[in-house]
A = this chain, B = another copy of it.
């Protein structure tokens, strides 16, 4: 499990020229690490798409269980309490129409309740039902169990590191997105 053993002889992209100074060599290394992160993330994401399509880890749906979108939406509601569709979209980083559909699906499954906001006739307050929260907990436990299996060989420290680094990565990706959207 050597550190990022980049067994990756991509035909190009090698910073040309024999490196002379240490700083140049360091930059090349930094670049490689970024490339490795980029590649690993791409692979991770594609794998996840495949996983979602088939029924592997925590997926099922159509029988009342949650897919990832529903899971994250419900999780947001469970964490922040009842929210408007717009607020959900904002927190989830999604288009409002997408959230509308996800909420509709969750409502159909009995996981959330929708109600007009009495103080704003345009707005809809989305609130988790008890059944929804139960399903959320069960789903979360199932997903966590999968990761307990996947990460069975990891030390506690490495798991903690992964959790923290992923959190930071998410935060920084979020910041990046905002940086790009705003200006």
Query: Across the interface, which residues of B come within 8 angstroms of A50, CB to CB?
Result: 93-94
User: What is the interface of chain A, defined by CB distance below 8 A to chain B?
Assistant: 1, 3-5, 8-15, 30-31, 33-51, 56, 68-69, 71-72, 75, 78-79, 92-94, 133-134, 136-137, 140-141, 143-144, 146-151, 153-170, 172-177, 180
Query: Across the interface, which residues of B come within 8 angstroms of A136, CB to CB?
Result: 10-12
Q: Check B11–A159 contact: CB distance below 8 A.
A: no
* Chain A interface, DSSP helix/strand/loop, else mixed: helix
Beyond contacts A3-B160, A34-B151: 18 other A-B pairs, Cβ-Cβ < 8 A, are: A1-B168, A4-B167, A8-B79, A10-B79, A13-B140, A31-B148, A34-B148, A37-B147, A38-B147, A41-B48, A42-B143, A46-B69, A46-B93, A47-B174, A51-B177, A154-B168, A154-B172, A158-B168
